[in-house]
Amino acid sequence: MRPLRLLFLLWIGVWQCSTALLGGEYHLNNGDVVRGEPVSFNDDGMVVRLDVGGYSPLLTWSKLTQDTLKELAKNPKAASYAEPFVDAPPVPKDKEKKKKEVVLKPVPRVERIEKPSFFSSFVTPAGAAVFGVLFLANLYAAYQIARFRNRSPALVCGLSVVLPVIAPALILAMPSAEAMETEAEGAAVPAGAAQAAGKSTTGSLAKAPMAGGLSISHEEKPSASPSQGPQNYKRGEFTFNRRFFETKFPGFFRVVPADPDLVLVVRSAKTEHIAKRISRITSNEVYLQPVRGNETVVMFAEITEIQVRKQEVKA
């Protein structure tokens, strides 16, 4: 009996020692405390045999406080599971590794190009191309203005080279050569009429009736005569419009032409019209009565040349 009693006391002592070694209190992050002896450890957590009896649910390592994890890290059975969840202590500032100072070394740099001036920009290929386009556009505008104002294209283009933009603008603002000529003729007619009135009472101006109710109130002058030869009017030298036809060809507006031997040749880029009279005229076009055939209409913009000549008689 004595040996059995000693064995029982020994077992009681071992059990109490194990309880003192492994049992204890385990604090959770939510403030709860679990008292008992851990009986199982794994990667997810541990299970505790409670002092009050029974077993606790699985206590995951993330639910335990840092102090509890540190105590469990001292247990050989739980160390491998609890240590990864123990926060490393902060490193003292004096033991922190000093940051390596960055040394800036000089590097080769490209020389800064100075901002080009306005005139030096034309030396570059792009600047030269832009200048060439503007120069050609200036000459083209000067040529068109010269044709529009019945000026010499060579003179206007030459002035536009010396004074770009300014010279074409001045030519455009000036009246055309035909308008100046018409004004000069209008100023000369009253003077001639006054002189004729002093010499003879029969020197009145004749009014030539025209088709469509048109009339010319000046002393009639023949458009052309066989002795003078054909008269040519080319685009660029004259502006072809309604006033031009009424001023230059008044005889062709009559139902019976003043000189039946003369014809009016109107040329365009595509065809040529030979007319014996002008039947109608508007602000944009003229209606011609050809020698043979029906009435033909010609736009002023299409006319390139007008000629007054003697009608050719075919044998």
With b for 16 or more beta-carbon neighbours within 10 A and e for fewer, the 149-164 pattern comes to bbbeeeebbebbeeeb
| Least confident among 65-79, 118-132, 165-179, 197-211 | 197-211
Best-predicted range by mean pLDDT among 88-102, 121-135, 298-312?
Answer: 298-312
**Segment 37-94, tens digit of pLDDT:** 888 888 888 888 888 888 888 888 888 888 888 888 888 888 888 888 888 776 556 5
Torsion 93-94-97-98 (CA) sign: positive
Q: What is the residue extent of each domain of the chain?
A: 10-85, 122-174, 207-310
Asked if pLDDT for residue 6 goes beyond 80, the answer is no
CATH 2.60.120 holds for 207-310: no
pLDDT of residue 51: 81
- CATH node for 10-85: 2.30.30.700
**d(Cα 291, Cα 294) in Å, to the nearest integer?**
9
pLDDT of residue 226: 43
| Least confident among 81-95, 101-115, 232-246 | 81-95
Asked if pLDDT for residue 17 goes beyond 80, the answer is no
**Strand intervals (E) in the chain:** 24-27, 33-41, 45-50, 59-60, 207-209, 215-217, 231-234, 262-268, 272-281, 285-290, 296-299, 303-310
pLDDT of residue 54: 83
CA angle 42, 45, 49 (to 5 degrees): 95
Calculate mean pLDDT across residues 251-264.
Answer: 83
Calculate mean pLDDT across residues 243-263.
Answer: 85
Per-residue DSSP letter, 28: B
Tokens of 219: 């002393």
pLDDT of residue 190: 46
Mean pLDDT score across all residues of the chain: 75
Concatenate the DSSP letters of all residues of 57-108 into one string: PPEEGGGB-HHHHHHHHTSTTTHHHHGGGSPPPPPPGGGSPPPPPPPPPP--
For residue 168, the SS3 value is helix
**d(Cα 216, Cα 218) in Å, to the nearest integer?**
6
For residue 311, the SS3 value is coil
pLDDT of residue 28: 85
Query: In the beta sheet, which residues pair with residue 106?
Result: none
Asked if pLDDT for residue 2 goes beyond 50, the answer is yes
Asked if pLDDT for residue 180 goes beyond 80, the answer is no
Asked if pLDDT for residue 233 goes beyond 90, the answer is yes
**d(Cα 30, Cα 263) in Å, to the nearest integer?**
121
For residue 247, the SS3 value is helix
The more confident residue out of 224 and 95 is 95
Contact 233, 306 (CB under 8 A): yes
Please list the helix, strand and coil fractions of the chain in percent, rounded to the nearest 5, in that order: 40, 25, 35
Tokens of 33: 């405390």
pLDDT of residue 30: 86
Instruction: Give pTM, 2 decimals.
Output: 0.31
